[in-house]
Amino acid sequence: MLFSGDIGPALLPPGEDGLFVENFDKHIRHAEGFHRRWMGSNDTKRRWCERVSQLDIDMLCPQHGAIYRGADVQRFINWFDNLQVGIVSA
């Protein structure tokens, strides 16, 4: 288990909450805005993704929201690694 703090939560509509992520594609749409808004650095995010990709994680447990488990753990890490966050300089 990896307790990931503010990495991984999704702002779900009422009635769509649950203990586990059951449909990754549907769930992750609700995570994008939060992560774009609150993650300040692409470099730091990528280093986090590189480190946790080396671990054997059965469940990724954000501080708030549903738990990613099984194949959805690596799916989340890959999604997060590719997400552009923070301030982008021109």
For residue 37, being part of any structural domain is answered with yes
Instruction: Over range 6-28, report the average pLDDT.
Output: 90
The better pLDDT of the pair 76, 36 is held by 76
For residue 87, being part of any structural domain is answered with no
Range of the structural domain that residue 43 is part of: 2-82
**How many structural domains compose the chain?**
1
Using alpha carbons only, give the angle 80, 81, 87 rounded to the nearest 5 degrees: 85
Average pLDDT, the chain: 92
Helices (H) then strands (E): counts for the chain? 4, 3
Q: The sheet that has 68-69: what strands, in order across it?
A: 2-5, 59-62, 68-69
Give the tens place of pLDDT for each residue, 18-61. Answer: 899 999 999 999 999 889 888 888 999 999 999 999 999 999 99
**Residue 12 to residues 19, 26, 49, 64, 82, Cα–Cα distance (Å):** 12, 10, 23, 11, 21
Task: For residue 13, name the pLDDT band (cuts at 50, 70, 90).
Answer: confident
For residue 67, being part of any structural domain is answered with yes
For residue 89, being part of any structural domain is answered with no
